[in-house]
Amino acid sequence: MASIGDAKGRVAEQFRQYRSLLAPGTPLREGLERIVNGRTGALVVLGDNAIVQQISTGGFVINTDFTPTALRELSKMDGGIVLSSGLDRILRAGVHFVPSGSIETIETGTRHRTADRIAQQAHVPVATVSASMSTIALFLEGMRFPIEPSHQIMGRADQALATLSRYRDRLTDDTRYLTGLEIADLVTLRDLVRVCQRVEMARRLAKELEGYVESLGIDGRLLQLQLFELTAGVDETATLLENDYSIEERPGKPSLEELEELPTGDLLDPESVSSAIGFGATPLDTHLRPKGFRLVHQAAQLDTTLTRRMLDQVDSIQELFDLSVEDLMRVDGMDAKHARALRDGLARLAELGTQS
């Protein structure tokens, strides 16, 4: 049994596409569920080409518009069904497929072995409904993907959502603590790594939940809203950290995108994370001095260009807190409104720093 993590390249992209087309609320899913509820089986080839035609024998030319009811009724016949590549027409029904027996497959049932071989030989997706197990499966290029009922997907999604919520709370706490350290000029590489770990774990859980949203179709709308709320600002935090902790002595800047390739075990190891984001073998207790992008964003949410101009005028974050509104207005592009907002925001952050 394969998962999206096992699929690579084109197969992964194909699965994401057909996962959406097979989600609850879609015509194809409705048709397959009608077959499941009727306690019959089916083999449905999701596309037509010369190879599909070559390995097809018998059957009837239907060439009619696709409807869930038509799919259900035609599945009662012996043989399989061929849909158009756009899945909007039923081309043939009652077809007997004879794919090459030399194609390797680990499937045991006749219907599933045939579906697997068709998918490999003709390079088209094939959906099956098991009469005995009342399950739906999708075959792609030698891989089998289960198409699960909504309640099963929702159960795992709820667990992932609860985990993401906890990680988001920890990320909020850790970034707040990092802010206090930045104000006091006490940040170490270990502190930065801790926040980067939280960001990447949140991203991984969000990616998993995005898959559940696609699989759930219309049943995933509430989950999608919850996911949006929990991930708001995570990517922005990553970008601000990258801008803050770049150093001239090292080419480029730390990239949190590199963490995507780390196995979960390595993501839990601070030294592996430190190396992945560009710090190499730098000791974890090394003192770091951020440029101040994240602090300024928290204080007034200025655009990056204006923030960069302002930060070029100071040698450290600590100097920011000594600037008056008049000093800030001397920065090219800074008007009185933004200067006052920044001054007030920095005052609030300074108070937070003393409380940390």
- pLDDT in the model for residue 6: 47
Which domain CATH number covers 208? 1.20.1260.110
The predicted model gives 266-292 an average pLDDT of 92
CA 92/CA 81 separation, integer angstroms: 6
- Considering the domain architecture, whether residues 137 and 175 belong to the same structural domain is answered as no
pLDDT tens per residue, range 191-229: 999 999 999 999 999 999 999 998 898 889 999 999 999
CA dihedral 256, 257, 262, 266 (to 10 degrees): 10
Give yes or no for residue 4 having a pLDDT over 60: no
Give yes or no for residue 296 having a pLDDT over 70: yes
- Considering the domain architecture, whether residues 187 and 266 belong to the same structural domain is answered as yes
Q: Which of 183-187, 302-306, 322-326, 329-333 has the highest mean pLDDT?
A: 183-187
| CA 255, chain centre distance (Å) | 18
The answer to whether 226 and 165 have CB atoms below 8 angstroms apart is no
- pLDDT in the model for residue 71: 97
Give yes or no for residue 91 having a pLDDT over 80: yes
pLDDT tens per residue, range 297-323: 888 888 888 888 888 888 888 888 888
- Considering the domain architecture, whether residues 14 and 123 belong to the same structural domain is answered as yes
Q: What is the Rg, in whole angstroms, of the alpha carbon atoms belonging to the chain?
A: 28
Give yes or no for residue 86 having a pLDDT over 80: yes
60 bridge partner residues: 93
- Considering the domain architecture, whether residues 188 and 125 belong to the same structural domain is answered as no
Taking Cα atoms as reference points, which of 143, 140, 147, 144 lies closest to residue 46?
A: 140
- Considering the domain architecture, whether residues 49 and 94 belong to the same structural domain is answered as yes
- Considering the domain architecture, whether residues 270 and 332 belong to the same structural domain is answered as no
Which domain CATH number covers 336? 1.10.150.20
Number of folded domains that form the chain:
3
pLDDT tens per residue, range 238-273: 999 998 987 544 555 567 888 998 999 999 999 999
- pLDDT in the model for residue 353: 59
**Residue 304: left (phi > 0), alpha (psi -120 to 50), or beta?**
alpha
Residue that terminates a domain, selected from 271, 290, 309? 290
The answer to whether 131 and 98 have CB atoms below 8 angstroms apart is no
- Considering the domain architecture, whether residues 21 and 89 belong to the same structural domain is answered as yes
Residue that terminates a domain, selected from 100, 130, 147? 147
CA 181/CA 191 separation, integer angstroms: 9
Domain that holds residue 58: 4-147
- Considering the domain architecture, whether residues 332 and 280 belong to the same structural domain is answered as no
- Considering the domain architecture, whether residues 199 and 229 belong to the same structural domain is answered as yes
- Considering the domain architecture, whether residues 156 and 276 belong to the same structural domain is answered as yes
Give yes or no for residue 7 having a pLDDT over 50: no
- pLDDT in the model for residue 330: 87
Which domain CATH number covers 128? 3.40.1700.10
138 bridge partner residues: 127, 145
Q: How confident is the model at residue 18 (pLDDT cuts 50, 70, 90)?
A: confident
- pLDDT in the model for residue 355: 55
Residue that terminates a domain, selected from 290, 316, 335? 290
